[in-house]
Amino acid sequence: MIDPDADWYRVAMAAVFRLIVVLSAIYVVLGVLHLVLACAEENLKAYVFGYHGYYNFTHAMYLVRPFISIASVFASTLMVRWIVRAYPQIAEARTLELQLKRKKNAQLAIFALNSTENSNE
């Protein structure tokens, strides 16, 4: 039964504490699982490519990855600037940008962009 003399604040704090402990334990278990899967993936890559080729590839990716990120940021900035200049109305530009981001295929995005340009003329 329900105890009328119970301190409900302490009961709630105990429940919250237990929830935090359980979620922390789940977080640790998932982190360990992620670490195990990442190590297994690295070992598989090294086995498939050979250790020498894999380490050359990994070193090249560490060198190339920052340049790819910079190029991606630069290209997306240019695309947004071009959309804003092509469509002076901000709302129209924003909806077009969202439509293009939803397209996973670059050819579909270009086709959608060309079709909107033809409809505006």
Overall average pLDDT of the 106-111 stretch: 68
User: What is the distance between the alpha carbons of residues 75 and 24, in angstroms, rounded to a whole number?
Assistant: 40
Q: Do residues 76 and 84 touch, judged by C-beta distance below 8 A? A: no
5-52 confidence digits (pLDDT tens):
778 788 888 889 999 999 999 999 999 999 999 889 888 888 888 878
Q: Which residue has the tokens 């598989």?
A: 44
- Three-state DSSP state, 121: coil
